[in-house]
Structure 1
């Protein structure tokens, strides 16, 4: 199994209630039922207000590297990522577990 972690930081001046952000969150919340490769799926706003904290996180798992690539290439994933590019930056980590 592979864990796929993504931490998102909203761009300067962008708030959670921005309509683009609301739509982007909705797109990510719908990925679990849209992408069969996902074995687990969590996404949520960070509750920490520390200065180094990121704003939003995705924590999911897939079976193997091939499944990870299918997830990354999936049109629903690509559409969600396209939305987030407009208002956030992110970092990722993929690791076996």
Structure 2
């Protein structure tokens, strides 16, 4: 099993209620039930106000490296990434569990 973690930081001046952000969050929230490779899916807004905190997180899992590639290349995942690219940056970690 591979755990796929993503932490998003909204760009300077972009707020959570920005329509683009709302659409991006909805797109990612819907992925859990739409991509067969996902064995676990959760995402949500950070509740911490610490200066080093990121804004939005995805915590997911897939069976193996091939499933991770299929997930990453899935059209709905790519559509969500395209939305977020307009208003955020992110970091990822993929590790075996």
Using the size of structure 1 for normalisation, the TM-score is 0.99
Match of 2:34 in 1: 34
Aligned pairs, how many?
97
Superposed structure 1 runs of 4+ greater than 2 Å apart: none
Gaps of 5+ in 1: none
Counterparts of 1:33 and 1:39, CA distance in 2: 10
Tell me how far apart the structure 2 counterparts of residues 50 and 24 of structure 1 sit (CA, whole Å). 23
Shift of 1:63: 0.2
Q: What's the RMSD between the two structures over aligned residues? A: 0.3
Q: Which residue of 2 aligns with 1:76?
A: 76
- TM-score between the two structures when normalised by the length of structure 2: 0.99
Instruction: Tell me the equivalent position of 1:96.
Output: 96
